[in-house]
Structure 1
């Protein structure tokens, strides 16, 4: 297959399902999952997970872990079928993308698993696409592999943008500017 040709959603779904099954069957999968979910105390992005309605770290982290695995399996499947890293950066919903970052923060475990399973981990922040929409390539391949994606986590890009505006206004009301990326709090004076 040419690196310039995108495989069909069905081809990607089939390979992604194989990758995910092999990852979850790996001898170090439980340690990888535990390490990823333990990392949750460091998840501080103000516009990633908080776009989830009534976000709750304790109840949302396990389902998001599943969604993150599926997202990475889809990306890896595209790469396996094309050899093209740019094509493999298929659109992913913002909260799901945030979970992939928590997974990638376990590099030794994930590298060993990917080597044993035989897939390439594809994720580069400056190349990622968070412009996920219903009916996009990712959505079609996901549905063929695992059924309908959870609307709670697979938020469409336009809805994420709307929610970020709401969050940004709330953050600004307590002195957190630029969606939590800046403040002028003096801890000495507090």
Structure 2
């Protein structure tokens, strides 16, 4: 387990304890589910001391729901992503997924082998508009485009949701909005996710 920053980790545990919420460390290999939702923990397996230690400690999940397979990469960098790629080759159903949550806001630190073997139909990039990190990196966008993924970015499309209607998955987006405006009450609900609907498959 990597507590970073340590003081914030302690604060989170204290808040959780005060609210009666149990906190535990997940480990690679764990599997669980709730109704039709199933998930498997692929990472962390160990602490990676190269690259960004906190980023490489991200939880990576393989999720299956509504006939879709989703790979959620957290913020992992190539050092951890290579181990995830190895784990994905061993999972039931193989390494290909329908939806990929791209690691670390689409930074340049992607593992090409993991992207290629995942071969996602849809790649979601959670990234703030006008960020000063240069995310998403052009190299990451080229990598995703090279495997034929449709790329959806929150800085361009706003809130994103993948919905399945009559067995057909679609991408639904709220549309871009001013980032200096306060969020709408209750967040983006069904009515706020009506613009930009389209099939996951380009």
TM range (shorter): under 0.3
TM-score of the two chains, using structure 2 as the length reference = 0.27
TM-score of the two chains, using structure 1 as the length reference = 0.28
Whose strand proportion is higher, 1 or 2? 2
Whose helix proportion is higher, 1 or 2? 1
